Amino acid sequence: MAELTSLVNIGKEMARKLEAVDIRTPEQLAAEGAEQAFFRLKTLFPQVCLVHLYALEGAIRGVEFNSLPADRKRELKAFSDQLK
């Protein structure tokens, strides 16, 4: 079973936060999806921001967060804005 830190965009601190919301493996993150994982993070860590959401999506897709397609970034931003 791979570790969260084996994913692009996921460092030790992000992995620690994900584990705090009971997401412990890349498979769990993929099954949860970026939006739901971000929602769970936002509940426990209100300071997480849009970049964290981009990082989660990038981790699931296996790409750097700044390489996400513009249309997907817009969707993620709209989701994040709904949580404010």
What gap in Å lies between CA 84 and CA 14, rounded to an integer? Answer: 21
Q: Note whether 49 and 58 are within 8 A (CB).
A: no
**26-70 pLDDT tens trace:** 999 999 999 999 999 999 999 999 999 999 999 999 999 999 999
What pLDDT is recorded for position 2? 85
What pLDDT is recorded for position 15? 98
| Alpha-carbon torsion, ordered 48, 60, 75, 52, to 10 deg | 10
**2-34 pLDDT tens trace:** 899 999 999 999 999 999 999 999 999 999 999
What pLDDT is recorded for position 84? 81
